[in-house]
């Protein structure tokens, strides 16, 4: 396998983008990534998108987006793995470059979620759960993650304030990110008194419905200096794994086996130890998800990540900054694009281009993206060259 580098990134501001279509959102991000990279063509393209058919009545978006980006007839494939679609699209692009099949590959992600009402959005997202054993019984993702949160709180004596501290921390980071959907700080009191969604999760424990796109360009590391305009960032590890889709089939509600396995594979490929990682982007679709993801990655022992945000350990300037982008909670969560945006945050941090969010001396970053209640997980590790 060839060594692979990210040489370009593109991510316009996320939010409720009423005036832009799905194709507009993707093309804007892709053109920004191509411009940032300095390349004059791409050989192939992967697009992470969970549910364009339900959100905007459009399937077959690989060909559609290649057409509107102006790169047809290059091969273009839509990748779906629920909320991990973007991360898996990046992994497929990485594999294609590493294998030698293509030299310059664009990995993007996009979702247009606000063209439907709240009920339709809830239904579309619910298709990532087990339809017969969860969705048919009325379970939604806030409800499923509420079960996880309640199990964790009972098992490890996590307080409601500790859970809320995750949202406070991520909004503090997101307030420094001009591309975030909600670039503003929130207080512990605001989180604690926001509308109840599914006990114990309140509105400010939940990631928002978001329109957005993101894209990156990958090439062989050996060609990066010649092709790219900026410092290349090497992809040193990639791992993916699956678990049961339904919660009731698992041994533990609070430990994500797919994340643990994906992390193990990524670390084996990277040939590093977790202690060498300087910053982490994890899939905080709900505040409890960040806590469980950190423990499943092995960054904290089980039961120990719950107080990390409240104690300042995962803040900028802390022992291990987590979700410096603002995470899904503040930055937003256009589900197909989230995994790509995590990669972009790592690239900008490792390039030393993150501005007020910059982690001092960052050399190695890890991104964890997952679908559903971690039925699918993908982990990538990047290193500054």
Per-residue pLDDT tens over the stretch 130-172: 999 999 999 999 999 999 999 999 999 999 999 999 999 999 9
Predicted confidence at residue 225, as pLDDT, reads 92
Residue 353 and residue 222 share a domain: no
- Give one DSSP letter per residue of 111-141, joined into a string: E--TTS-HHHHHHHHHTTS-TTTTGGGT--H
Residue 157 and residue 89 share a domain: no
Residue 216 and residue 189 share a domain: no
Question: What distance in Å separates the CA atoms of residue 240 and residue 251, rounded to the nearest whole number?
Answer: 20
Residue 173 and residue 38 share a domain: no
Question: What distance in Å separates the CA atoms of residue 11 and residue 325, rounded to the nearest whole number?
Answer: 12
Residue 187 and residue 79 share a domain: no
Question: What distance in Å separates the CA atoms of residue 35 and residue 40, rounded to the nearest whole number?
Answer: 9
Contact 148/254 with Cβ under 8 angstroms? yes
Question: What distance in Å separates the CA atoms of residue 77 and residue 92, rounded to the nearest whole number?
Answer: 10
Would you call the peptide bond into 200 cis, given omega within 30 degrees of 0 as the criterion? yes
Predicted confidence at residue 228, as pLDDT, reads 87
Which secondary structure element, helix H or strand E, spans residue 155, and what is its range?
Answer: helix 141-156
Is residue 153 situated within a structural domain?
yes
Is residue 190 situated within a structural domain?
yes
Contact 275/267 with Cβ under 8 angstroms? no
Residue 335 and residue 222 share a domain: no
Residue 137 and residue 251 share a domain: yes
- The one-character DSSP state at 46 is E
Is residue 122 situated within a structural domain?
no
Contact 281/323 with Cβ under 8 angstroms? yes
- pTM (global) more than 0.75: yes
Centroid of chain to Cα 334 = 9
Residue 180 and residue 34 share a domain: no
Residue 262 and residue 272 share a domain: yes
Per-residue pLDDT tens over the stretch 313-369: 999 999 999 999 999 999 999 999 999 999 999 999 999 999 999 999 999 999 999
Is residue 123 situated within a structural domain?
no
Question: What distance in Å separates the CA atoms of residue 351 and residue 302, rounded to the nearest whole number?
Answer: 32
Number of domains composing the chain: 2
* Domain range for 358: 128-205+235-384
Which of 365, 368, 341 shows the shortest CA–CA distance to 241?
368
Q: pLDDT per position in the chain (385 positions), as tens?
A: 999 999 999 999 999 999 999 999 999 999 999 999 999 999 999 999 999 999 999 999 999 999 999 999 999 999 999 999 999 999 999 999 999 999 999 999 999 999 999 999 999 999 999 999 999 999 999 999 999 999 999 999 999 999 999 999 999 999 999 999 999 999 999 999 999 999 999 999 999 999 999 999 999 999 999 998 999 999 999 999 999 999 999 999 999 999 999 999 999 999 999 999 999 999 999 999 999 999 999 999 999 999 999 999 999 999 999 999 999 999 999 999 999 999 999 999 999 999 999 999 999 999 999 999 999 999 999 999 9
CATH number at residue 348: 3.40.47.10
Is residue 315 situated within a structural domain?
yes
Q: Kindly list the catalytic residues.
A: 83, 333
Burial of 104 (0-12, 13-18, 19+ CB in 10 A): buried
Residue 52 and residue 16 share a domain: yes
Predicted confidence at residue 165, as pLDDT, reads 98
Contact 4/222 with Cβ under 8 angstroms? no
Residue 222 and residue 193 share a domain: no
Residue 81 and residue 192 share a domain: no
Widest Cα–Cα separation across the chain: 56
Please identify which residue in the block is written with the tokens 């298709």.
127
Question: What distance in Å separates the CA atoms of residue 369 and residue 382, rounded to the nearest whole number?
Answer: 14
């Amino acid at each position: 396998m060839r060594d692979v580098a990210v040489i370009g990134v593109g991510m316009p501001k996320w939010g409720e983008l009423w005036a832009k279509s799905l194709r507009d959102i993707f093309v804007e991000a892709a053109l920004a990534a191509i411009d940032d990279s300095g390349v004059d063509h791409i050989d192939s393209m992967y697009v992470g998108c969970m549910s364009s058919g339900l959100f905007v009545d459009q399937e077959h978006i690989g060909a559609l987006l290649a057409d509107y980006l102006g790169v047809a007839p290059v091969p273009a494939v839509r990748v779906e793995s629920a909320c991990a679609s973007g991360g898996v699209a990046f992994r497929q692009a990485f594999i294609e470059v590493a294998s030698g099949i293509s030299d310059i590959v664009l990995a993007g992600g996009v979702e247009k979620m606000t063209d439907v009402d709240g009920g339709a959005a809830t239904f579309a997202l619910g298709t990532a759960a087990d339809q017969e054993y969860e969705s048919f019984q009325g379970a939604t993702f806030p409800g499923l993650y509420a079960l996880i949160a309640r199990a964790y709180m009972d098992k490890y004596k996590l307080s409601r304030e500790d859970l809320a501290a995750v949202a406070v921390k991520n909004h503090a980071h997101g307030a420094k990110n001009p591309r975030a959907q909600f670039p503003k700080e929130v207080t512990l009191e605001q989180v604690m008194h926001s509308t109840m969604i599914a006990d114990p999760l309140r509105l400010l424990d939940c990631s928002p419905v978001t329109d957005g796109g993101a894209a990156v360009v990958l090439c062989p590391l050996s060609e990066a200096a010649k092709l790219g305009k900026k410092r290349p960032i090497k992809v040193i590890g990639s791992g993916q794994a699956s678990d049961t889709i339904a919660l009731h089939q698992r041994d533990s509600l609070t430990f994500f086996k797919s994340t643990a396995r994906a992390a193990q594979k990524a670390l084996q490929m990277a040939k590093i130890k977790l202690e060498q990682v300087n910053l982490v982007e994890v899939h905080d679709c709900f505040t409890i998800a960040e806590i469980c993801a950190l423990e499943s990655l092995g960054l904290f022992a089980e039961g120990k990540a719950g107080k990390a945000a409240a104690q300042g350990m995962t803040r900028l300037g802390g022992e291990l900054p987590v979700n410096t982008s603002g995470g899904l909670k503040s930055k937003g969560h256009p589900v197909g694009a989230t995994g790509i945006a995590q990669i972009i945050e790592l690239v900008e941090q490792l390039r030393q281009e993150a501005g007020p969010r910059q982690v001092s001396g960052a050399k190695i970053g890890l991104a964890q993206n997952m679908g559903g209640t971690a039925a699918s997980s993908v982990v990538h590790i990047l290193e500054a060259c």
